């Protein structure tokens, strides 16, 4: 996240010179300081085509604001390293390096969710990344948040560049063939990255992402994101079916005995009470956290404050949506998940719009 308001940071770039601190990548990315702040300066390879790509990356990036994207402040014609993009400096490691530390399944699921959210945002804005691969995905050292970088080969979905971003192993078949790519080309790359993060798991999502025919894939990262959120549904259907069979067997064996009917009624009553109590806890959470978030929005003094409040809320929501009370019977857990999903869909689209509107007030 950008620590100061975007307006303050942009204003501070008007005067003075950048001081180059170090070279970050292949002589084309530099860590620089100016007005007491740190930035990443991205240059081209010096060719006319490279300069064109750099300017196009600026044109595509300048209007984008998402927690999962490195923010681009401005384009400098003159700097100590020549024409460059001035963007948010992300102190992090690549996804490939992060995986070498063997993170747990929960952290891997969070990273997949953040990657899908950032890419879905790009697709909603009509932007194709066109170069999704582990080295373009950074995980911050502080907090472990995902940042998607390098839109150097990106373009609008109406005129996408056919050039490869340098790593053929993550490129879609149509991109390798020099055909016109669209959002489904990014979906193919997402499938390969998901396979890296979770080898041997979530095969139904990965296989659809990696279809040779683009028309058989998910249409966008947003569709992949929705499939990812529903990934546990088949397992819960199996559990529900098993429970139903077990109950049928019990009823068949013990039918006609008042004692067993009473036990079944007691179990159903306990199930209903446990489910009602669990829902009440969720309702209390929404009744407390949503007004607090709206109050924080009104008190925010910068987009950075808004982003911080939004990130805090979504992180808390993630925990709530992943927590099933231990006391909840197995037969009630799917109903509880459905309730969590319903609460989220009824509340968060409006909150996200309020966040967007609040950010617009600072510009």
298 or 154: which leads in pLDDT = 298
Asked if the model's pLDDT at residue 254 lies above 70, the reply is no
Q: What is the pLDDT of residue 82?
A: 87
Cα 8 to Cα 71: distance, rounded to the nearest angstrom: 14
* For the chain, percent of residues with pLDDT exceeding 70: 82
Q: Which of 69-78, 94-103, 308-317, 350-359 has maximum average pLDDT?
A: 94-103
324 or 109: which leads in pLDDT = 109
Q: For all residues of the chain together, what is the average pLDDT?
A: 83
Q: Which CATH class is domain 6-88?
A: alpha beta
Cα 202 to Cα 208: distance, rounded to the nearest angstrom: 10
DSSP string, 244-257: HHHHHHHHHHHTT-
pLDDT average, residue stretch 89-99: 94
Q: What is the pLDDT of residue 245?
A: 66
pLDDT average, residue stretch 284-290: 89
**Using the 8-state DSSP alphabet, how is residue 71 labeled?**
P
pLDDT average, residue stretch 106-134: 94
- The phi-psi region of residue 148 (left if phi > 0; otherwise alpha if psi is between -120 and 50; otherwise beta) is beta
Domains of the chain by residue range: 6-88, 92-229, 258-361
> Any idea which architecture 92-229 has in CATH?
Orthogonal Bundle (1.10)
Closest listed residue to residue 319, CA positions, set 360, 361, 358, 282: 282
Cα 257 to Cα 199: distance, rounded to the nearest angstrom: 51
pLDDT tens digits, residue range 20-33?
888 876 668 888 99
**Which are the contacts of 78, defined by CB distance < 8 A and separation ≥ 6?**
none
Residue 67 contacts residue 307 (beta carbons within 8 Å): yes
């Amino acid at each position: 996240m950008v620590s100061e308001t975007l307006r303050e940071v942009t204003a501070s770039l008007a005067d003075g010179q950048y001081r180059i601190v170090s070279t970050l990548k292949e002589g084309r990315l530099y860590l620089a300081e100016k007005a007491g702040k740190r930035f990443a300066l991205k240059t081209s390879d010096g060719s006319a085509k490279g300069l064109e790509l750099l300017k196009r990356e600026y044109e595509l990036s300048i209007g984008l604001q998402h927690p999962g994207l490195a923010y681009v402040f401005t384009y400098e014609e003159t700097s100590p390293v020549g024409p460059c993009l001035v963007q948010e400096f992300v102190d992090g490691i690549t996804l490939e390096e992060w995986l070498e530390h063997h993170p747990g399944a929960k952290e891997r699921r969070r990273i997949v969710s953040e990657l899908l959210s950032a890419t879905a945002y790009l697709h909603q804005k009509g932007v194709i990344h066109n170069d999704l691969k582990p080295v373009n995905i950074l995980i911050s050292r502080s907090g472990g948040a995902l940042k998607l970088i390098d839109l150097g080969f990106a373009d609008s979905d109406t005129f996408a560049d056919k050039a490869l971003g340098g790593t053929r192993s993550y490129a879609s078949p149509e991109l390798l063939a020099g055909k016109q790519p669209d959002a489904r080309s990014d979906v193919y790359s997402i499938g390969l990255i998901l396979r890296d993060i979770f080898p041997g798991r979530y095969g139904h999502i990965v296989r659809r992402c990696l279809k040779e025919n683009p028309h058989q894939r998910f249409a966008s990262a947003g569709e992949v994101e929705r499939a990812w959120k529903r990934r546990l549904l088949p397992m819960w259907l199996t559990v529900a079916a098993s429970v139903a069979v077990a109950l049928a067997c019990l009823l068949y064996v013990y039918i006609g005995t008042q004692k067993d009917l009473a036990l079944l009624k007691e179990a159903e009553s306990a199930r209903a009470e446990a489910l009602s109590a669990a829902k009440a806890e969720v309702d209390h959470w929404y009744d407390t956290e949503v007004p607090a978030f709206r109050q924080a929005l009104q008190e925010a003094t910068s987009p950075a404050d808004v982003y911080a409040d939004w990130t805090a809320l979504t992180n808390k929501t993630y925990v709530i949506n992943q927590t099933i009370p231990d006391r909840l019977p197995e037969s009630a857990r799917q109903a509880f998940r459905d309730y969590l999903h319903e609460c989220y869909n009824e509340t968060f689209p409006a909150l996200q719009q309020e966040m967007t509107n609040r950010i617009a007030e600072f510009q």
